[in-house]
Chain A
């Protein structure tokens, strides 16, 4: 049975400023959801809370399987992942960066080799696999981040501004990757972006974050 995410009446304030206010949405089927909204509307906050990086002040993040609510434990955390807007880069090779999630899950060497190779092929970074990841360009770093996120085969994938501050060429490459991913992966993908055109091309469902609430467009 597939993993679903039900966000129920969440609130979040920073320094007494309410960012999310009675915000609810049920991500009830495998699809690409694009979350739009101007800068500062709370998209990143919403994704961080959904991916369990932060707790809401109030309300519930319910992960469901077969109508049962799952505990927020390591087991669940390992089925979801978030690509941060500022992709964290480990000071090691591109290969080791992508292998990280597999290593900490205790995968065997041969499996890691195979899966990482596949993921690198998918984002066209195979030729850079032995290079230190800190020397990648912004666009390449984003692609590496995507490879690193999908290599662990998450059931729910959150992407925060995957094409922000990336040049035109890399934006096209990344969009192409995401469109392929959509066909390949039968899972929930939630993308936050403030780019309307990009959102139009990628999303099955378009959501708008406004006044602390999510509304379907």
Chain B
């Protein structure tokens, strides 16, 4: 029992002292996940909107694909990417294995289907009268598309934040392709896994507390956005 209390004490000590090692790990985690989600949004948002708005051949198949990839196990992504980036793999010449870039790629792959799928769902949910109304008011099809994206904004934000939540908490993929190299590719989740293994609970606990705080913030944000987006139900 005592060692738990001691770990927490030490953990808070690290946090309050803004321990350099701790801070570096947190910053790298935020950077890797932040960049990954940004890239996934850049490509995922337009694709989600497109499949939400346009009817074309193979659309249902594509949507099924998004949903399948949404539940992709991170270790599988890690393994796949490892094979691609390892020295004898097709992209081995890029020398990306065990770099933050490889971690960003892994998390982008994990975030992408979530963003596409939830953007698609948000776009489809927009009342059809919005499209008709914007047409009757003289909008071009591009203007109509932007209007629909604006109407779907809360659902889209939920998708982006959910993706961020998922990749921040993920450990399997980045452990495999990042290698958990001290001062270079060590992030919160991988450090927790390793330090716990070694019996160093202070750093692990400190990171655990921070990760929990981040997760709480993300979920609070989700809650606030969903609440704001639900304004239309005030009267019903």
Name A residues whose Cβ lies closer than 8 Å to a Cβ of B.
51, 53, 74, 77-78, 81-84, 86-92, 100-101, 104-105, 132, 134-135, 148-149, 152
Chain B interface residue count, CB cutoff 8 Å, equals 21
What is the minimal beta-carbon distance from A86 to any residue of chain B, in angstroms?
Answer: 5
Whether the pair A101, B137 counts as a contact (CB closer than 8 A) is yes
Q: Can you list 29 A-B contacts (CB < 8 A)?
A: A53-B132, A53-B135, A74-B140, A77-B135, A77-B138, A78-B138, A81-B136, A84-B129, A86-B129, A87-B133, A88-B127, A88-B129, A88-B132, A88-B133, A90-B133, A90-B150, A91-B150, A91-B232, A92-B150, A101-B137, A104-B134, A104-B139, A104-B143, A134-B232, A135-B231, A148-B137, A149-B137, A152-B137, A152-B138
Whether the pair B151, A90 counts as a contact (CB closer than 8 A) is yes
Whether the pair B138, A74 counts as a contact (CB closer than 8 A) is yes
Which residues of chain B from 127 to 180 have a CB within 8 Å of any chain A CB? 127, 129-130, 132-140, 143, 147, 150-151
What is the minimal beta-carbon distance from B218 to any residue of chain A, in angstroms?
Answer: 23
Whether the pair A81, B138 counts as a contact (CB closer than 8 A) is yes
Residues of B within 8 A of A53 (CB): 132, 135-136
Whether the pair A91, B151 counts as a contact (CB closer than 8 A) is yes
Interface string of B87-129 (1 = CB under 8 A from A): 0000000000000000000000000000000000000000101
Whether the pair A134, B136 counts as a contact (CB closer than 8 A) is no
What is the minimal beta-carbon distance from A165 to any residue of chain B, in angstroms?
Answer: 14
Instruction: Return the chain B residue nearest A86 by Cβ.
Output: B129
Residues of B within 8 A of A84 (CB): 129, 132-133, 136
Query: Top 5 A-B pairs ranked by shortest CB distance?
Result: A88-B133, A88-B129, A78-B138, A101-B137, A134-B232
Q: How far, in angstroms, from A33 to B135 measured CA to CA in the complex?
A: 23
Instruction: Return the chain B residue nearest A52 by Cβ.
Output: B135
Whether the pair B138, A51 counts as a contact (CB closer than 8 A) is no
Residues of B within 8 A of A132 (CB): 231
Q: How far, in angstroms, from A90 to B129 measured CA to CA in the complex?
A: 10
Q: How far, in angstroms, from A83 to B129 measured CA to CA in the complex?
A: 11
**B235 at interface by CB-CB < 8 Å:** yes
What is the minimal beta-carbon distance from B126 to any residue of chain A, in angstroms?
Answer: 9
Residues of B within 8 A of A149 (CB): 136-137
Q: How far, in angstroms, from A88 to B147 measured CA to CA in the complex?
A: 12
Q: How far, in angstroms, from A104 to B142 measured CA to CA in the complex?
A: 11
Q: How far, in angstroms, from A77 to B137 measured CA to CA in the complex?
A: 8
Whether the pair B234, A135 counts as a contact (CB closer than 8 A) is yes
What is the minimal beta-carbon distance from A54 to any residue of chain B, in angstroms?
Answer: 10
Given A135-B231, A135-B234, are A90 and B130 neighbors across the interface (CB < 8 Å)?
Answer: yes
Instruction: Return the chain A residue nearest B144 by Cβ.
Output: A104
Residues of A within 8 A of B234 (CB): 134-135
Instruction: Return the chain A residue nearest B233 by Cβ.
Output: A134
Q: How far, in angstroms, from A77 to B143 measured CA to CA in the complex?
A: 14
What is the minimal beta-carbon distance from A123 to any residue of chain B, in angstroms?
Answer: 16
Residues of B within 8 A of A51 (CB): 136
Residues of A within 8 A of B134 (CB): 88, 100, 104
What is the minimal beta-carbon distance from B20 to any residue of chain A, in angstroms?
Answer: 46
Residues of A within 8 A of B129 (CB): 84, 86-89
A84-B129, A88-B127 provided; 15 other pairs, C-beta below 8 A?
A: A53-B136, A74-B140, A83-B136, A84-B133, A88-B129, A88-B130, A88-B134, A100-B137, A104-B134, A104-B140, A105-B138, A132-B231, A134-B231, A152-B137, A152-B138
